[in-house]
Chain A
């Protein structure tokens, strides 16, 4: 089954979070938003859903920045695509982001640039094969179909 990409958007600015989410939802992606790193970390550590991409601002209130958040998510889901957004391209966090190979988008940017960066990062990530299957789980209905096919 082909799938819509699921994107976790993290930004402490409500307006930007909403704009990014609306923009990407219009593009057909499924968006989950978090207002800060703590909320995002809760989603990540619950490890409930397979995420295709993290789009995160770098600077957020609290001890955890967007780069650390991305690293945490990669511990759980190593193939997740990452796009880091920043208004401070020369900061230490951004150097860290670049060293880790995360795609970076500098503010200000046009809508098309964000769309392009998201699409490109998703297409280049490991395991972007459309036929990629999820973790094993079998329903009795599927088992019956398999048995019938034998």
Chain B
């Protein structure tokens, strides 16, 4: 673990790959995660996800369950997991949450709070023992 001049532990930002076909949602996720200080890349589909994972390591991959084409998000989740990444699924389909729960992957139902995204991603990363901590700005309560 890196340490600062005083010897205190310095948390490393998380590297996150977002797999989402909707450009607006993709950029919104990139914005909120980057704004917190994380290192974020995006992919539109399975092909781009695999290319990104071949190019570098990521701590976490956040995947939309519903993707166009033959590969759905759950199939991509398995591929990402095989590469040692923590996986978080997101979906707007509230009718299939039980089926999602059975996959064993953490998931978020839209709409969700940014804190919830950070919390679930951090938990998922912690479960695969990756040495990073999802970045958050200073908290302010409402």
Tell me the bound Cα distance from A12 to B140 in angstroms: 27
Report the interface size for chain A: residues with CB under 8 A from the other chain. 36
Name the distance in Å between B52's Cβ and chain A's nearest Cβ: 21
Q: Is the CB of A140 within 8 A of B106?
A: yes
- CB of A71 within 8 Å of the partner chain: no
A136 to chain B, nearest CB (A): 6
Closest 9 CB pairs of A and B: A28-B140, A139-B106, A2-B141, A42-B24, A5-B142, A134-B113, A3-B115, A50-B111, A134-B116
5 pairs from A and B in contact (CB 8 Å cutoff): A3-B139, A4-B139, A48-B111, A134-B113, A137-B107
Q: How many A-B residue pairs have CB under 8 A?
A: 107
Show the binding face of A for B, using Cβ within 8 Å.
1-6, 27-30, 32, 42-43, 46-52, 76-77, 122-123, 128, 130, 134-143
By a CB distance below 8 angstroms, the chain A residues around B32 are: 30, 32, 49
Range for the number of chain B residues in contact with chain A = 35 or more
In whole angstroms, how far apart are the Cα atoms of A52 and B35 in the complex? Answer: 17
